[in-house]
Amino acid sequence: MEKYDHKYGAEQIQVLEGLEAVRKRPGMYIGSTSVRGLHHMVYEIVDNCVDEALAGYCTEIKVEIEKGNIISVQDNGRGIPVEIHPKTKISTAETVYTVLHAGGKFGGDSGYKVSGGLHGVGASVVNALSSWTEVTIKRDGGLYQMYFEKGKTIKKLEKIGDAEGTGTKVRFLADNSIFESLDYEYETLEKRFREMAFLTKGLKITIEDKREETPKKSEFCFEGGLISFVEYLNKNKEKLHKTPIYIEKNGDIPVEIAIQYTSSYSENIYTFVNNINTIEGGTHLEGFKRSLTKVFNDYARNHNILKEKDPNLQGEDIREGITAVVSVKVKEPQFEGQTKTKLGNSEVTGVVQSMVNDALSTFLEENPNIAKAILEKCISASRAREAARKARELVRKKNSLETSTLPGKLADCSSKNADECEVYIVEGDSAGGSAKQGRDRKFQAILPLWGKMLNVEKSRADKIYGNDKLNPVILAVGAGIGADFDITKIRYGKVIIMADADVDGAHIRTLLLTFFFRYMRPLIENGNVYLAQPPLYKLSKKGMQDIYCYTDEDLDKAYKELEEKGIQRDQLALQRYKGLGEMNPEQLWDTTMNPETRILIKVTMEDAIKADEIFTLLMGDEVEPRREFIQANAKYVKNLDI
């Protein structure tokens, strides 16, 4: 590439200093330099296309991961303006790519910018953090192109030919001296673009991964918008009514909502502001919840479903089994909360509340059968809540009579400092015995579980209190469950599930994780839940220290390394562990419990939607989708004990 000879003016020097700051402290601008930050680079560019779609000019976005992890994003909008910008004296397009936050500042008012929201750092940050960036624009019959390296202009915008139509295409290679890895995860990008397509009715987004020999491709376009979104979320659930309830109002603060009730016991409400997932909720969620509670109670009273003597239904009764997506557009959103994903604008509460009041009460009056079906479920949820309260009281009383609130089977640790303490939840009494003997009793507690674990996906809270399998877990963790769960009360910083590496072990792991996900979610969100990783094999030989292998790959590697040292396979004894119970206390300590040498897998909540989907699928009522999932994923199953 031929170098351009620049004469930098004062404006340009400021620009270079700005982008230099981005390269010095990338985390400040893009969140982090891990794969998460890497994916933000793509979102940043795609957000600009979505803004153009929201302004009504773009109908299609194409994203490609080319060989060598080059990202290409193309839209069919108006094209970034090419004329000289009066303030910077360079083309508007170059300004957008070299001046921090210029896209937002210089772009016309196209409404509610996605790109002004959460990460909204602008194209210039992507440019600064890329080894190179190439921008091609079709506008006013011309084809224009410019080229940058590490944010510096190498080729200024020039007309390179004629063009039909309009649009913008950006290709960039993220800088591998800045990012930890350039390995884009196709599934992560795919999920995000699916979500964006749901949120922007009619917008077509395609993503193609050309890195492998056989490219992957997905195309998303949903004429139903949020209705399609809710149908997608509920695809494996039993629905109480056929089509989602849809509410839309395009006032000063546009609001769009889709709601569908299912027979499940969980509550799934996803909220978005300017297409950004507000994981921590905020004022829009508050308005929605308040309205739901009021409208259903009013309807139940007016139609004598709730009698005079009956208490009001509580919010949680009305939200049992709900799946809803709430999407609002706010001109100047204020984001608060730990991860800046909580909407703070107070004016939004009233707007959402009054519009849901109007639309939902009208809907219920016009659809009495649906109203009845939902209210029947709410009333049985309220009865179950009352029964759960009684069960909880009973458990509390019983425990206080017994003076100790800890379960009998728990071998507790001596330290009371939760930060350093860990509890191993162990399947089976024999493994529990080895774990008790092998542990470091100062900070490691052991809770053995046995027998058939309750599937919480198919039971309500009242069945959980007092359940002889789950109650010990609740008492040991010490922080309550459901709405009462208080993360500050946990007795152990690490809650470690230790189960066999076979089908039964996988089952107990899934049942416990489902329980934590539904009833102690903050424990997962806070990173307190772990899976112990017991070894699958032991290689031994007289005079040689035993070698433990945790995967088949580990075993192959160990054989190869030993061969290099002149030790052949037939000289080695191979033991395949069928269960934890086969290990003596020392072996269990060495391989699975010693913090210096063990492998723990941290359970994360990266994707609540995906997690909910999989838990519903694996633990819920519908048989056919579960069979399909198992068939489709059977090839990934390792360590299957047959």
Q: Which is nearer to ligand 0R9, 58 or 562 (CB)?
A: 58
Q: Which of 21, 23, 84, 106 binds ligand 0R9 (CB under 6 A)?
A: 106
CB count, 10 Å around CB of 117? 20
Write the interaction track for ligand 0R9 spanning residues 85-104; mark x where CB under 6 A is met and - where it is not. Answer: -------x---x------x-
Q: Which is nearer to ligand 0R9, 170 or 588 (CB)?
A: 170
Q: Residue 293 CB, nearest distance to ligand 0R9 (Å)?
A: 40
3-state secondary structure of 575: strand
Q: Residue 3 CB, nearest distance to ligand 0R9 (Å)?
A: 25
DSSP 588: H
Angle between helices 226-233 and 186-199 (to 10 degrees): 130
Dihedral angle, C-alpha 452, 453, 458, 460, nearest 10 ° = 120
Distance linking the first and last C-alpha atoms of the chain = 59
Which residues, in sequence order, are CB contacts of 590 under 8 Å at separation 6+?
Answer: 548, 597
Name the residue with the smallest CB distance to ligand 0R9.
Answer: 108
Q: Which of 73, 285, 324, 359 binds ligand 0R9 (CB under 6 A)?
A: 73
CB count, 10 Å around CB of 246? 17
Q: 64, 427, 462, 590: which is the annotated catalytic residue?
A: 427
Q: Residue 61 CB, nearest distance to ligand 0R9 (Å)?
A: 7
Say how far apart CA 525 and CA 270 lie, in whole Å. 16
Q: Which whole-number Å values give the CA distances from 92 to 169, 186, 343, in the listed order?
A: 15, 32, 32
- Contact stretch for ligand 0R9 (CB under 6 A) within 47-55, 414-422, 477-485, 542-550: 47-55
Q: 187, 310, 386, 504: which is the annotated catalytic residue?
A: 504
3-state secondary structure of 271: strand
Q: Which is nearer to ligand 0R9, 170 or 360 (CB)?
A: 170
> Is 500 in the active site?
yes
Sheet holding 573-576, edge to edge: 544-549, 537-541, 573-576
Residues that bind ligand 0R9 (rule: CB under 6 A) add up to a total of: 23
Under the criterion CB under 6 A, does residue 321 sit at the interface with ligand 0R9? Answer: no
Say how far apart CA 519 and CA 484 lie, in whole Å. 9
Q: How many helices (H) and strands (E) does the chain have?
A: 21, 24
Under the criterion CB under 6 A, does residue 108 sit at the interface with ligand 0R9? Answer: yes
Inter-residue contact 90 to 232 (CB < 8 Å): no
Q: 500, 590, 612, 613: which is the annotated catalytic residue?
A: 500
CA 414 to chain centre: 36
Q: Which of 170, 199, 375, 523 binds ligand 0R9 (CB under 6 A)?
A: 170
Under the criterion CB under 6 A, does residue 70 sit at the interface with ligand 0R9? Answer: no
Q: Residue 250 CB, nearest distance to ligand 0R9 (Å)?
A: 20
Write the interaction track for ligand 0R9 spanning residues 117-156; mark x where CB under 6 A is met and - where it is not. Answer: ------x---------------------------------
Q: Which of 15, 22, 45, 536 binds ligand 0R9 (CB under 6 A)?
A: 45
> Is 504 in the active site?
yes
Nearest to 428 by CA among 412, 445, 452: 452
Q: Which is nearer to ligand 0R9, 64 or 320 (CB)?
A: 64
3-state per-residue secondary structure call for 480-493 = CCHHHCCHHHCCCC
Report the interface residues with ligand 0R9, using CB under 6 A.
45, 48-49, 52, 73-75, 77-81, 92, 96, 103, 106-108, 110, 123, 168-170
Q: Which residues are catalytic?
A: 427, 500, 502, 504
